[in-house]
Chain A
Amino acid sequence: MQAFQNMTPLLANLNALAGSLFIIATFGIVATRQVRACLKFFILQSALLAASAFLLGSNPLSMHLIAVGIINLVAKVWFLPWLLRRQVEEEVYTRREITQVFSIPASLIIALLLTVAAYFFSLPWVKTAADAGALSINVPVGLAGLLLGGFTLSTRREAVPQLLGILAMENGAFFAGIAIAPDLPMIAELALAFDILLLTFVVGVLTRAVHERIGSTAVGKLTNLREEVQQ
């Protein structure tokens, strides 16, 4: 059942490299203040996801994983940033977020703790496999990506970084997915890619509506709805 037991040491090492760079790119999304830089880290993260898919699919050759890598490259590295740039005004990307919940060092320390936690959580999962192989890289890294994306989402106040947080979470899930479910039906892969693009489109439309209505994309300021006395 295990697909990667024949991976050559070189490929395994390269995959480990892709995994560590993936984590670093995710740290970049967590800690960068400027929206444009944040987007660049997301593109890098997606490219590394595709790279890992190519590495896992190269020996033994799996056209399926190669196709998954290509779908990711086209959908996330090329099409998604274009879509996002088209939908949200340029001015947003040059902005720096001043008001964040945590300072950059504090965010990085929490991110580090979350990464360690991800390794601990996923260790028993990896142990269930007869031969761990690439799983011991992809599963913990993927879970870490999921947690760090969620962390980004909950501490950012701007619309686009929050969206990138969601997308980083999904990238994390996929990073684990290419190792634990390498033979997912193609229709599911295509639908997932379509889903990501639709998500970006819808959130982009919403971001624009927020921008037009309140004059900024600082969604963290939207706090009218609550039970406490307001009027």
Chain B
Amino acid sequence: MILFVLISIPLAAAALSSSSSQARFGSMISVIGAVAALALSGWVAVDVITSSKHVLVAIPGWIAIDALGALILLLIAVVNVTATLFSVGYMDFTTTGDSHRYYLNFNLFVFSMFIVPLLQEPNIVWIAVELTTLFSVLLVGFENTREALEAAWKYVVLTLMGAAIALLGFLVLYWAARQAGITHYTWAGLEAGAPQMSPVLLKAAFTLILVGFGAKVGLVPLHTWLPDAHSQAPTPVCALLSGIETTAVLYVILRLLPVMSAAPAIHANTWLLIFGLISVGTAAFLLLRVRDYKRLFAFSTVEHMGIILAAFGLGGTAAHTAAMLQIVGHTLTKSFCFYTAGSVLQMTGTRNIASVRSVIRRSPLIGVALLLGGLAIAGAPPFVLFLSEFSILRAGLNQGEYLTTGLLVFFIAIAFFAIMNHIGRMVFGSTEVGDPIRPYVLPVSSRMTLILAVVPVIVLGVYIPGPLQQLITLAAAVLGGRG
């Protein structure tokens, strides 16, 4: 069936790209595979929207997909296309070589992300999330510098520690389900049987999973690995890690929301709000003092994960729908930001913000892209993140959550100022006197990536196509509008 074909594409690409000795072949296979996977996930999304129950089942109880899963799947597939395309130019730029190892790990990493939204048995989902870490670790350390290895080590240690905590959480969840007599241990079965489950065990499971997987989403205080890993990894991998991996793990936490709403005494929403606000606030102030522009975008991921979590914490259909749009907007915008950051890195060879000036005079394309990326990720109109953040704040005000909304506005404003301050100086700042401006031209594949990646960022800000809007609404409905 279509779902099996979809998940076998990255596996096939992994096998093929490591079998040939040609680096170009690996790139080509990966790009072709990514485009095919995107087409199929688009098809899956349309199928989910048009089917009567909005669910596509491959193996009942094990592999199926609903609107929320389809949305995540689609986003993974989109970033996969741009990331493989950008990899072509990156492979020419990097000196580390070994493209086999790169494409093997890359495609396996994509595979492990693809299966997260497809799997229905929560314990197996845990394994899939663990696989995303294991397949991406060696990619983070791919450059093999001291810093890259440090980043990879912190990444693997902190996220695996979180995963072990989450594992106990999932086992406790299973325990609670058995006590309640739930026979179908799937997301849907859990939701149906939630009212019978012991609130004590539910609370324990939820806390363990939130803390454990929160580490991988990049929630403060277990976020410290994130700026390291997301800045040291090769650029296309940064786009995957920051743009979609965090979201795919957040998706697993969100799956618990309908279960938790059966036990209002636990106040799961309040936990999300608190965790979310702490993350947004911490990230906003750290953004002010970053010195490395890839870390700038990495901290902005922590900020956005916090905003999304807080929005789900607010609860209600309006906030949920806005948070879904925020997920879409963040994935598309953040991956674009990392491609521009990667282009700047290829041009200048430094990650230091203070050493990068007058980007727009050396390469108008990169300069404009960096400016657009900065504005879009900071949440300026008319980009899509402005739309979603505005909707979240409006939902907050409508619910009378003035304190939460006020804090969010304050933190978002600080983050906006911090990001634009750094980006503005990089794009327009003047170079030292006598320093010649050497024009720089990006590889064709990288230019194509930038243009491809920026289109949805701009378009979605002014126009959201009907089917996508439908998918977002359905996905929000999966999580329930109560709260």
Given the contacts A169-B165, A206-B152, A181 and B141 also touching, CB distance less than 8 Å: no
Q: How far is the CA of A225 from the CA of B227 in the complex (A)?
A: 9
Interface pairs A-B: 6 shortest CB-CB: A169-B164, A222-B150, A180-B175, A173-B168, A181-B174, A173-B167
State whether A222 and B146 are in contact (beta carbons under 8 Å apart), knowing that A1-B179, A199-B130, A202-B138 are contacts in the complex. Answer: yes
**Which chain A residues lie closer than 8 Å to B228 at the CB level?**
225
Measured CA separation A125–B197 after assembly (Å): 12
Nearest-Cβ distance from residue A209 to partner chain B, whole angstroms:
6
Q: How far, in whole Å, are A225 and B156 apart by their CA atoms in the complex? A: 15
User: From residue A137, how far is it (CB to closest CB) to chain B in Å?
Assistant: 15
Is A224 within 8 A of B134, CB to CB? no
**Complex contacts, B154 vs chain A, CB 8 Å:** 222, 225
Please provide the chain B residues from 238 to 296 with a CB less than 8 Å away from any CB of chain A in the complex: 286, 289-291, 295
Contact of A1 among B141, B181, B227 (CB under 8 A): B181
| Most chain A beta carbons < 10 A, residue from B156, B176, B228 | B156
Q: Which B residues contact A (CB, under 8 angstroms)?
A: 121, 123-124, 127, 130-131, 134, 137-138, 141, 144-147, 149-154, 156-157, 160-161, 164-165, 167-168, 171-172, 174-176, 178-179, 181, 198, 200-201, 204, 227-228, 231-232, 286, 289-291, 295
| Inter-subunit contact A176/B171 (CB<8 Å) | yes
User: Which chain B residues border A205 with CB–CB below 8 Å?
Assistant: 138
Contact A198 B134 (CB under 8 A): yes
B133 to chain A, nearest CB (A): 9
On whether the beta carbons of B153 and A227 are closer than 8 Å, the reply is no
Q: A153-B161, A195-B127 are in contact. Are A159 and B289 (CB under 8 A)?
A: no
A173 cross-chain contacts in B, Cβ below 8 A: 164, 167-168, 171
Cα A149 to Cα B127 with chains together (Å): 20
> Judging by beta carbons under 8 Å apart, are B157 and A166 in contact?
yes
Main secondary structure of the interface of A (DSSP, over half): helix
A136 within 8 A of B: no
Number of interface residues of A (CB under 8 A): 49
Q: Report the minimum CB–CB distance from B137 to chain A (whole Å).
A: 6
With known contacts A169-B161, A188-B124, A225–B151 Cβ distance under 8 A: yes
| CA A219 to CA B228, docked complex, whole Å | 15
Give min CB distance, A20 to chain B, whole Å. Answer: 20
Q: How far is the CB of B283 from chain A (nearest CB, A)?
A: 12
Whether B171 pairs with A177 at a CB distance below 8 angstroms is yes
Are the C-beta atoms of B168 and A146 separated by less than 8 Å?
Answer: yes
**B112 to A: closest C-beta gap in Å:** 11
Given contacts A170-B164, A176-B168, 15 further A-B contacts (CB under 8 A): A1-B181, A129-B179, A146-B168, A150-B161, A159-B153, A166-B160, A169-B161, A170-B167, A173-B164, A180-B174, A202-B156, A206-B137, A222-B146, A224-B147, A225-B231
For A128, what are the chain B residues with a Cβ–Cβ distance below 8 Å?
A: 176, 179, 198, 200-201
Q: A1-B178, A149-B164, A166-B160 are in contact. Are A224 and B291 (CB under 8 A)?
A: no
Specify which chain A residues have a CB less than 8 angstroms from the CB of B131 in the assembled complex.
195, 198
The contact sample of 18 A-B pairs, CB cut-off 8 A, is: A125-B200, A128-B179, A143-B168, A153-B157, A166-B164, A169-B165, A173-B164, A177-B171, A184-B171, A195-B130, A198-B131, A199-B134, A202-B137, A206-B152, A225-B154, A225-B231, A227-B291, A229-B291
Q: Which residues of the partner chain A approach B175 to less than 8 Å between Cβ atoms?
A: 180-181
In the complex, are the beta carbons of A191 and B127 less than 8 A apart?
Answer: yes
Q: Is the Cβ of A188 less than 8 Å from the Cβ of B204? A: no
A203 located at the interface, meaning its Cβ lies under 8 Å from any Cβ of chain B in the complex: yes
A28: interface (CB < 8 Å): no
Complex-state Cα separation, A223 to B153, whole angstroms: 11
The residues of B that contact A177 with a CB separation of less than 8 Å are 167-168, 171
Nearest residue (CB) in A for B158 is A153
Cross-chain contact A191 with B124 (CB below 8 angstroms): yes
Question: Chain B: which residue is nearest A189 at the CB level?
Answer: B123
Query: Contacts A125-B204, A209-B144: A227 and B286 contacting too (C-beta < 8 A)?
Result: yes
Instruction: Pick the contact of A213: B124, B130, B146 (CB < 8 A).
Output: B146
The minimal Cβ–Cβ distance linking A25 to chain B, given in whole angstroms, is 17
Flag A168-186 by CB within 8 Å of B: 1 or 0 each.
0110110011001101110
Q: Is the CB of B127 within 8 A of A222?
A: no
Name A169's closest neighbour in chain B (CB-CB).
B164
- Looking at B146, B228, B232, the one whose CB has the most chain A CB atoms below 10 A away is B146
Mask for A134-149, Cβ within 8 A of B = 1, else 0? 0000000011001001
* Residues of A contacting B157 in the complex (Cβ-Cβ under 8 angstroms): 153, 162, 166, 219
Q: Determine the chain B residues whose CB is within 8 A of the CB of A191 once the complex forms.
A: 124, 127
Per-residue B-contact encoding for A193-231, CB less than 8 Å = 1, 0 else:
001001100110110011001100001001111010100
Chain B residues within 8 Å of A206, by CB: 137-138, 141, 149, 152-153, 156
Return chain A residues, CB-CB under 8 Å to B149: 206, 209-210, 213-214, 222
Question: Chain A contacts of B152 at CB under 8 A?
Answer: 206
Residue numbers in A under 8 Å from B145 (CB-CB): 213
Contact, CB under 8 Å: B153 / A219: yes
Among A127, A180, A210, A224, the residue within 8 A (CB) of B171 is A180
* A56 to B201 CA separation, bound complex (whole angstroms): 22
What is the CA–CA distance of A63 and B281 in the complex, to the nearest angstrom?
A: 52
Docked CA distance A224–B175 (Å)? 43
**Chain A residues within an 8 Å CB radius of B172:** 125, 176, 180
Among B123, B147, B161, B291, the residue within 8 A (CB) of A188 is B123
Contact B150 A225 (CB under 8 A): yes
Distance in angstroms from A179 CB to nearest chain B CB is 9
